[in-house]
A and B are shown apart, each in its own frame.
Chain A
């Protein structure tokens, strides 16, 4: 095999960083049944891309800002009782995707490879992205260090957690904003349509091997990292689209572990 080109080194570091931030968020997405929430944020990230193109500003910046705004909107809307959160998320996901696509289509002077946003592109990773991934990694580390037990208690029963003195809304909002940040940044690597799978598939696979929440977290960290590394390698040697290659590897892990009985 030939010497790794520089973009591949960047992609490997970025992908690994992404796996490390996706896993801790992913276990809670699975435990709290929020995968649709993740999908909604991912769809809205494309709106961020199109707004960025429209304003001719930094795309990463607009994606991050739009994702955070949508996350905040979802959080506020979740207290709105007349429609189920399921319906609300569906409306937000597809309306933001539709708006995003319309705004992109209006800009005929801009050449944009939509496929790379939908399915990810390793070539697009740059050092700024790596810095941002590292930054969220640090944020997530401190957030989890402080709130791991609070998050578990909220997952078990938010009312009980509240009575026991957890600042439920604050912790939930911080979690959602971190999730939005992670999704915004992972879009470049795995793409809008596949971001959620990076969150939930390693966590779901890890469930088979874990009998404590912590074990599930560590195992999903390992599985997510392996999926990204093997997926990137496959993408490089076999010229496969990056996102799908990563998801395929993660799914293979999941299927392999499905044959094992949960402890």
Chain B
């Protein structure tokens, strides 16, 4: 089977701000249907890397290659909406559609509708909206002002909005932030389902260094440079975490453990790893 060409590829990205190196020679690629989890401590440059990948800031050096016409669904870490803006959750989601994007559901051509569409209301594919809101359990929230939803609800709303555009690449910035472990497991399972259902590649950022999504194909640990990468381990294979999860009485389905293997010659820090578990010459290749 031929390897499909990557959706997005970063080659030797380096970013410096006022002579301070934030990212150094970072390379990564994401293929269709692939889930890549980017982890790293605070200040590791995760957000900067994300901004570069999304084209929001140009890197100091290096290159980002994006598949032509790539549709990206982006879920920002948080979003602050001024209370002065009257907006329902439903409207917020609908704004994710491209304006004037004709869909098969737009057959109703009454004069009133034409007048309404003259300005502001593009025809929306309401079936897709319904499907996604149902899957993410948002249907009951649709009429609520967006400023009044809880943090966990907002995460799901942002995910729904990212999905509405039928993205080929889904970029999720801390999707499980502020979500309890049970909610995390649910969200991870849904994300895994998305990958198969829509066939999109997924890049996820998390500040949790050890607990990652089970179905992640590749974990990249970033701390200015890519310290190590690899596959996560099932909770059941990790005795210390198994006891933790059983004591919490939560299902660990969907969640996995990532063990760091840092090369001590380039990385002086570890994340709870004892040096002797690190095999010599552990390469950075995943």
Interfacial residues, chain A to chain B (CB-CB below 8 A): 30-33, 144-145, 148-150, 152-153, 155-157, 159-160, 162-165, 203-204, 207, 210-216, 263
Contacts and interface: CB of A to CB of B under 8 A. Distances in A.
Given A155-B85, A207-B86, A213-B87, A163 B119 contact: no
A148 B84 contact: no
Contacts of B79: 156-157, 160
- By size class, the interface of chain B is 20 to 34
Contacts, number: 72
Nearest to B51: A159
Given A149-B99, A157-B79, A163 B84 contact: no
A164 B96 contact: yes
A204 B84 contact: yes
B95 A216 contact: no
B81 A156 contact: yes
Interface in B46-94: 51, 54-56, 72, 74, 76, 79, 81-82, 84-88, 91-92
10 contacts: A31-B84, A144-B119, A152-B95, A164-B74, A164-B165, A204-B84, A207-B86, A212-B86, A212-B88, A213-B120
Contacts of A157: 76, 79
Given A148-B120, A165-B98, 15 more contacts: A31-B82, A32-B82, A150-B99, A153-B95, A155-B82, A159-B74, A162-B54, A163-B55, A163-B56, A164-B74, A164-B96, A164-B165, A203-B84, A213-B85, A213-B87
A156 B99 CA distance: 16
A159 B54 contact: yes
B122 interface: yes
Nearest to B121: A214
Contacts of A214: 119-120
A23 to B, nearest CB: 14
Contact of B84 (A30, A145, A160, A162): A30
Please report whether the interface of chain B is mostly helix, strand, loop or mixed according to DSSP.
loop
B86 A263 contact: yes
A35 to B, nearest CB: 11
A159 B76 contact: yes
A104 B175 CA distance: 58
A215 B74 contact: no
Contacts of A162: 54-56
A30 B81 CA distance: 12
A159 B54 CA distance: 9
A5 to B, nearest CB: 37
Nearest to A157: B79
A189 B222 CA distance: 58
A165 B119 CA distance: 20
Contacts of A211: 86, 88, 145
A38 to B, nearest CB: 15
Contact of B72 (A30, A156, A163, A263): A163
A263 B145 CA distance: 9
Nearest to A28: B85
Contacts of A150: 99
B54 to A, nearest CB: 5
Contacts of A164: 74, 96, 165
A213 B81 CA distance: 13
B84 A212 contact: no
Contacts of B51: 159
B96 A148 contact: no
Contact of B74 (A31, A144, A163): A163
B161 to A, nearest CB: 8
Contacts of B81: 156
A157 B122 CA distance: 20
Nearest to B122: A149
Contacts of B145: 211
B55 A145 contact: no
Interface in B86-136: 86-88, 91-92, 95-96, 98-99, 118-120, 122
Contacts of B96: 164
A47 B72 CA distance: 46
A215 to B, nearest CB: 7
A160 B88 contact: no
Contacts of B86: 207, 210-213, 215-216, 263
Instruction: Tell me which of B72, B96, B120 has the highest count of chain A C-beta atoms within 10 A of its own C-beta.
Output: B120
Contacts of B76: 157, 159-160
Contact of B56 (A31, A32, A159): A159
A204 B81 CA distance: 16
A82 to B, nearest CB: 11
4 smallest A-B Cβ distances: which pairs?
A: A163-B74, A149-B99, A31-B85, A210-B86
A143 to B, nearest CB: 12
Contacts of B118: 145
Contacts of A159: 51, 54, 56, 74, 76
